Amino acid sequence: MRWPWIVLLLSSNVLTAIVILSMKSSVFNSSSPQRSSSASDNMLTRQLLHHPSAEKMSHTIEKFSEPILRPLSTIRTTKSQIIFAITPTYVRDTQKVDLTSLCQTIMHVQNLLWLVVEDSDMKTALVSDVLDRCKVESVQLNVYTPPGKKSISSGVDQRNLGLGWIRRYCSNQTNCTGSVYFMDDDNKYDLRLFEEIKKTQQVSVFLVGFCGGMRAEGPICNRNGRAKLWNAKWQPKRSLPIDMAGFAVRVELIVAKPNALIGVDKFGKQSKLGYLESDFLGNFVNRDMVECRGNNREVLVWHVRTQKPRIRYLPNLKRAG
Amino acid sequence: MDSINQPPYLSDPDRYDSNYHQFNVYSSHQNSRRISPRHTIIESPITVQRRTQSQLKLKKLLGRFGLLLANSSATSVYANCSIASERNSCEVASVRTMMNFDLDSSSACWTMSHTNLTITGQCSHSTESSTTTSQPSVRSIFAITPTYARYTQKVDLTSLCQMAMHVQNLVWIIVEDSSEKTDLVADLLDRCKVTSVHLNVRTPPSYRPRPGADRYKEMYSRGVKQRNLGLGWIRKHCSIVKNCTGAVYFMDDDNKYDLRLFEEIRKTENVSVFPVGFSGGLKVEGPTCNKERRAVSWHAEWGPDRPFPIDMAGFAIQVTVLLSKPDVWVGFDELGEPTQRGYLETSFLEKFTSRDAVECRGNDREVLVWHVKTQKPWILYEVNNPTDDHFEV
């Protein structure tokens, strides 16, 4: 930090000093030693940068690092249906709690690939430790969303990064069959949900508990497996009034449409609040074509949050939560 | 249970019945409207002890069951199985459960399956077992979970069940705060592959919080009666079954647990304590341990003068220690007076041990249990007009 003062002393003109200082600050920000390899070499980044709405997301793509894979030692059979579960996560008090609990749930599910995408510029030790201990096949990614530039809702960039990783992974692999599911870290899941997700043929939707101001928001199925009614009272005119955790999309559809991202609809327009899911699924199906899964009597995924813990006495910062 | 210094609430009419048979899942027709026709109960305390693997002897032993089954429409028999101590023989958990007997005629092995637990008798010398809990060399953990009806009850219990499925030899004692066993919890325990015991007892009205009262200003703690019912079950169970060892742990349904916690709990010799996250207004509340497993210092800001400034989820007690004092209950002191809020753990633990004699487990760097709550869901619509009463959320 000695540079600014030296420049001021040497330059007689204050204006030139300011210009030089502003140039220096940008150099400082990008040449930090903790950043990993540069993003431009990465094929994934190049794919994202050439996307039509890439300019809006370019501030997030620059801060990008290589994914960490934690594969299992067991060999997956070639025709098994994989569930690609994308989990965006961010730093908060209850992050470790939620991730640990989610890990315990996932350990019961076979053939699930857990993509954890952190909202940070580096991979944090907390998430790395949780994933090290967790006996689940996982991929750790990260992309930073600056607080001032958060889009409609949190986790959009992280989910898109997960989708991009899946597209890249499936372009290299031949046994890429299954579904993509957005698994938020604070939600709770019944194990029967994953059996329903594996049966997805195109896009399947299910009820989500405690969502949209109701006990359960989502489709009411008829006997043919189509959504007869939609149980939704908050913005019911959306084409698909469900939560992010209420649908699963087939991987082949995701790979076939590389321009389908969360936050933009199929015409490239930005989504409004609450329309993320409708706009994303509008790339693949209509309202009538979705497969309705789950029985109408029970809810298999709940949109809950872990309450922010009441920490009233602050001087306990040396302990990790 | 009928000691002189009985806590006053135990003389309530809606306490648990002293008849041990009442403790089980589908134990009495009167109590539970949950019974489906296929679960007709025949109570028959038959002890199954297996010392040889001959199919003939097995059939003879279970022939009595066959008669019962043939003569009635019952498909399940309530029986008590004791542990067979021989190494080569089949080993069965010593929990009294309702069981369906299927004799596999192709081999000398038999299968006992039950809605909560499947035990396969491995008559061969194989070391691995197909069940999760039939290894008596691993100490069992009795986890008492009080629960009450609320929107997030099923969420919390499902999440807890998924966690409990990873723990070996866990006996999950769920005690509902209701006058009868609800379908929600019963169905959940049916699906959940954990050895579980389903009990229920209703908190008396004077101990219930008034509607709309601030939770932090309530006079009485919650879940006291339910925890005591769980303790009573353990005491009764261990009086019937021999070699009852293990640790007792109060596992609240909204907390979150790391799986390594249960390995620490299992090693409990006397009373062990560990730090709890987000409890008592702090990030971590509890003891700081040294290498000899002694509590060097106690970190607590709320009520630091308490002899045991920890949360209910921060200690575990060995069953033999618990049984040595049959009159000690949670939430009541010697005179039968209810303890003040926040002193539940203290009043319970100081009867068994002192602050210096506890075993301090858990490392300083990580917390293995977090005292969190699931946020109350925002249900704006359907509060007064739920669309479907039979819809289970």
Residues B341-357 have pLDDT tens digits of 788 888 899 889 888 88
How many Å separate Cα B315 from the centre of its chain?
15
- Say if the Cβ atoms of B366 and A320 lie within 8 Å: yes
Q: Which residues 218-277 of chain A have a CB within 8 Å of chain B?
A: 231, 233-234
Residue A250 near residue A256, CB atoms below 8 Å:
no
- Say if the Cβ atoms of B158 and A299 lie within 8 Å: no
Q: Is A319 on the interface with B (CB under 8 A)?
A: yes
For A186, the 3-state DSSP assignment is coil
Q: In whole angstroms, give the CA distance from residue A245 to residue A190.
A: 12
Q: Residue A29, CB half-sphere, CA atoms under 13 Å: how many?
A: 8
* Predicted local distance difference test score (pLDDT) of residue B125: 24
* Predicted local distance difference test score (pLDDT) of residue A28: 41
- The distance of A306 to chain B (nearest Cα, Å) reads 4
Pairing of strands B110-113, B118-120: antiparallel
Residues B299-327, mean pLDDT to the nearest whole number? 90
- The distance of B81 to chain A (nearest Cα, Å) reads 29
* Chain pair A-B, CB pairs under 8 angstroms: 126
Neighbours of B105 (CB within 10 A): 9
For A102, the 3-state DSSP assignment is helix
- Reported confidence tier of residue B220, pLDDT bands at 50, 70, 90: confident
Does residue B262 have a pLDDT over 50? yes
Work out the angle at residue B151's Cα, subtended by the Cα atoms of residues B145 and B153, and round it to the nearest 5 degrees. 20
A3's tokens = 């540079």
Residue ranges of chain A with pLDDT lower than 70? 1-65, 72-79, 149-151, 314-321
A150's tokens = 């958060």
Please give the mean pLDDT across all residues of chain B. 68
- Say if the Cβ atoms of A313 and B159 lie within 8 Å: no
Neighbours of A77 (CB within 10 A): 8
Kindly list the residues from chain B whose CB atom is less than 8 angstroms away from the CB atom of residue A97: 256, 277, 370, 372
- Say if the Cβ atoms of B382 and A297 lie within 8 Å: no
The residues, ordered by sequence, that sit 6+ positions from B154 with a Cβ below 8 Å of its Cβ are: A302, B184, B188, B392, B393
* Predicted local distance difference test score (pLDDT) of residue B301: 87
Residues B181-189, mean pLDDT to the nearest whole number? 89
Q: Which of B299, B374, B379 is nearest residue A306 as measured by Cβ atoms?
A: B374
* Predicted local distance difference test score (pLDDT) of residue A68: 78
Q: Which residue has the higher pLDDT, A80 or B268?
A: B268
- Reported confidence tier of residue B8, pLDDT bands at 50, 70, 90: very low
Q: Is A318 on the interface with B (CB under 8 A)?
A: no
- The distance of A133 to chain B (nearest Cα, Å) reads 10
From the list A196, A277, A291, A298, the catalytic residue is A277
* Predicted local distance difference test score (pLDDT) of residue B191: 87
User: CA of B277: which chain A residue's CA is closest?
Assistant: A321
- Say if the Cβ atoms of A100 and B283 lie within 8 Å: no
B258, B288, B369, B384: which to substitute to probe chain A, counting the most A Cβ within 10 Å? Answer: B258
A47's tokens = 């794919």
Q: In whole angstroms, give the CA distance from residue A30 to residue A36.
A: 11
* Predicted local distance difference test score (pLDDT) of residue A58: 38
Q: In whole angstroms, give the CA distance from residue A71 to residue A65.
A: 18
- Say if the Cβ atoms of B258 and A100 lie within 8 Å: yes
Q: A277 an active-site residue?
A: yes
- Reported confidence tier of residue B38, pLDDT bands at 50, 70, 90: very low
From the list B91, B285, B345, B359, the catalytic residue is B345
Residue A254 near residue A167, CB atoms below 8 Å:
yes
Q: Model ipTM?
A: 0.76
Residues B145-169, mean pLDDT to the nearest whole number? 93
- The distance of A240 to chain B (nearest Cα, Å) reads 19
- Say if the Cβ atoms of B165 and A108 lie within 8 Å: yes
Residues of B engaging A, defined by a Cβ cutoff of 8 Å: 151-152, 154-155, 158-159, 162-163, 165-166, 256, 258-259, 277-278, 281-284, 299, 301-302, 364-367, 370-382, 386-387, 390-393
Neighbours of B68 (CB within 10 A): 15
Residues B152-171, mean pLDDT to the nearest whole number? 93
Phi then psi dihedrals of residue A21, to 5 deg: -65, -40
B193, B301, B381, B390: which to substitute to probe chain A, counting the most A Cβ within 10 Å? Answer: B381
Of B177, B173, B172, the residue nearest B153 (C-alpha): B177
- What is the residue whose two structure tokens read 């953990």? B141
Q: In whole angstroms, give the CA distance from residue A30 to residue A23.
A: 11
HEC-encoded secondary structure of chain B: CCCCCCCHHHHCCCCCCCCHHHHCCCCCCCCCCCCCHHHCCCEEEEEECCCCCCHHHHHHHHHHHHHHHHHCCCCCEEEEECCCCCCCCCCCCCCCEEEEEEECCCCCCEEEECCCCEEECCCCCCCCCCCCCCCCCCCEEEEEEEECCCCCHHHHHHHHHHHHCCCCCEEEEEEECCCCCCHHHHHHHHHCCCCEEEEECCCCHHHCCCCCCCHHHCCCCCCHHHHHHHHHHHHHHHHHCCCCCEEEEECCCCCEECHHHHHHHHCCCCEEECCEECCCCCCEEEEEECCCCCEEEEECCCCCCCCCCCCHHHEEEEHHHHHHCCCCCCCECCCCCECCCCCHHHHHHCCCCCCCCCEECCCCCCCCEECCCECCCCCCCCCCCCCCCCCEC
* Predicted local distance difference test score (pLDDT) of residue B18: 33
Phi then psi dihedrals of residue A244, to 5 deg: -60, -25
What is the side-by-side strand order in the sheet with B359-360?
B196-200, B170-176, B140-147, B246-250, B315-318, B271-273, B359-360
Q: In whole angstroms, give the CA distance from residue A175 to residue A77.
A: 9
Residue type, B330: V
User: CA of A305: which chain B residue's CA is closest?
Assistant: B375
Kindly list the residues from chain B whose CB atom is less than 8 angstroms away from the CB atom of residue A191: 162
Q: Which tens digits make up the pLDDT trace of A48-60?
A: 444 444 444 433 3
Least confident of A292-301, A305-314, B100-109, B269-278: B100-109
Does residue B59 have a pLDDT over 50? no
Kindly list the residues from chain B whose CB atom is less than 8 angstroms away from the CB atom of residue A309: 277-278, 371-372
A87's tokens = 């989990």
User: CA of B155: which chain A residue's CA is closest?
Assistant: A188
Q: Which of B367, B375, B393 is nearest residue A299 as measured by Cβ atoms?
A: B393
Does residue B231 have a pLDDT over 90? yes
Least confident of A138-142, B194-198, B336-340: B336-340
Q: Which tens digits make up the pLDDT trace of B240-261?
A: 877 788 999 999 999 999 999 9
The residues, ordered by sequence, that sit 6+ positions from A13 with a Cβ below 8 Å of its Cβ are: none
How many Å separate Cα A189 from the centre of its chain?
17
- The distance of A296 to chain B (nearest Cα, Å) reads 8
- The distance of A274 to chain B (nearest Cα, Å) reads 16
Q: Which tens digits make up the pLDDT trace of B72-98?
A: 222 223 333 332 322 222 223 222 233
